[in-house]
Structure 1
Amino acid sequence: MKIEIWSDFVCPFCYIGKRRLEQALEQFPHREDVEVVFRSFELDPNAKKETPLTIHELIAQKYGITVEEAKRANADIGKQAEAVGLTFRFETMKPTNTFDAHRLAHYAKEKGKLNDVVERLFYAYFTESKRISNRDVLFAIAEAAGLDRKEAEAVLDGGRYAEQVREDEAAAARFGVRGVPFFVLNGKYAISGAQPVDVFRRALEKVWEEEQQASPLRPLAGEGGMCADGSCSIG
């Protein structure tokens, strides 16, 4: 089973949804047969790398609410994060542009380190209050995940993987994705938003059961002699 997740590293519900899916996978007996792939989505492609505004002020500005209302909304999101073992530090969060972070994730995918880098990017932004557009921050994340720092520097300095980010975003547009997280299971089923763990678990079970029932071959006769599990039937 393949699960594709469109998400952004400054999206709180993307991190919460990621953790809820992981908790559902822990309860899923076939989790070793599930491939999880993260796809790029920028909530604000025009976001500045640095802004004097706090996350509360940006939210207030975006939704036309007061800063106090934004703080209460963020506090509620923080409680949802705590429920799945995450710590969100809204007071010191550094809103930023995520394009380079997405490019780094694509480089990590090529090197087999995607899940590790994705987790570190989320953690750096929401818990460590790091500016994840800063090159030194990104290089440190790459190095901590076991990637070659010099190669990561060459990737980001040279503009590589920009096309892959745009391809993911174009695919999201074809699916009609307007918000994240957005989960696509086996290219056929969609889950929108950071749904409860039970919703993810039931979806995993449904898709797995359906895929096992779907066989491209129809038997024309009963079973004859065959070999399986290292032995052959006799007689």
Structure 2
Amino acid sequence: MKQLDHPVEVTYRCFELDPTMGRDIKENIYEGLAKKYGMSIAQAKANTQRMVQMAKEAGLDYQMDTLILTNTFDAHRLTMYAKHKGLMKEITERILHAYFTESKHIGEHKTLTELAVEVGLNREDVEKMLASDDMSDVVRADEQTAKQYGVTGVPFFLINKKYALTGAQPTETFVQALKKVIAEDQITVLNSEDGLNCDEDGCEIPNK
């Protein structure tokens, strides 16, 4: 985005890789992947290690050995709540850091509340929201939209509801994709400048 001389708005959407997952899971990430994809623990660790290395190259510290698997529906609800408060990016980044780096249990309301307070949300309001079903419809609406677009995994980037980028892509791929979309959005004047031009002050007839 810094390489583009054009405004770009980023909006996070909700998507659960496994909506059926429970809140308290005994399996670790490697056991969960092995079970889901029918691979060995060793294969799961090898695949995960590649992701850890990619994260490291991007300046992220992923602690997969101590990561706590859990259901993320309430974390998504909190993100949608924060969106209405203008803190969507902040809470999303905080939750992801808590999950991947700090090994926090983001399925617990107590943990989510503490993270919310850290980014500037009101404790009592967040506790009340989490204890209710607020934002559930918003999360499910996002997930339904994802189905309509054929999203089956993350990351998935949709640009102007027209172009999609899937998987972890290098920066240059995003730059080129955004430049393409920006160019297509620009208005191309097909006729010459000669013609009757009108504005709020009236019309000007060009000199012939």
Same fold (TM over 0.5): yes
Question: Which of 144, 147, 158 is residue 184 of structure 1 equivalent to?
Answer: 158
1:201 aligns with 2:182: no
**Structure 2 residue aligned with 1:62:** 36
Gaps of 5+ in 2: 202-208
Q: Distance in 2 between matches of 1:184 and 1:224?
A: 38
TM-fit CA distance, 1:26: 2.4
**Structure 1 residue aligned with 2:102:** 128
TM-fit CA distance, 1:226: 9.4
One-letter amino acid of the structure 2 residue matched with residue 109 of structure 1: K
Alignment map for 1:60-209 (pairs within 5 Å) = 60-209=34-183
Decide whether aligned partners of structure 1 residues 222 and 98 sit closer, same or farther in structure 2, where only a CA change above 3 A counts: same
CA RMSD of aligned residues (A): 2.2
Decide whether aligned partners of structure 1 residues 152 and 214 sit closer, same or farther in structure 2, where only a CA change above 3 A counts: farther
Q: Distance in 2 between matches of 1:38 and 1:134?
A: 21
The CA deviation string for residues 126-163 of structure 1, in whole angstroms up to 9 with x for no partner, is 00001111111100111111111110111110110000
1:27 aligns with 2:28: no
SS in 2 for 1:167: helix
Decide whether aligned partners of structure 1 residues 155 and 199 sit closer, same or farther in structure 2, where only a CA change above 3 A counts: same
Decide whether aligned partners of structure 1 residues 67 and 188 sit closer, same or farther in structure 2, where only a CA change above 3 A counts: same
TM-fit CA distance, 1:29: 2.2
One-letter amino acid of the structure 2 residue matched with residue 195 of structure 1: Q
TM-fit CA distance, 1:220: 7.2
**Structure 1 residue aligned with 2:186:** 212
Q: Distance in 2 between matches of 1:214 and 1:143?
A: 48
TM-fit CA distance, 1:187: 1.5
Q: Distance in 2 between matches of 1:53 and 1:176?
A: 29
Q: Distance in 2 between matches of 1:29 and 1:41?
A: 30
TM-fit CA distance, 1:35: 1.0
TM-fit CA distance, 1:223: 5.9
**Structure 2 residue aligned with 1:47:** 21
One-letter amino acid of the structure 2 residue matched with residue 171 of structure 1: T
TM-score (norm 1): 0.80
Q: In terms of Rg, which structure is larger?
A: 2
**Structure 2 residue aligned with 1:233:** none
Higher relative contact order (CA 8 A, sep 6+): 1
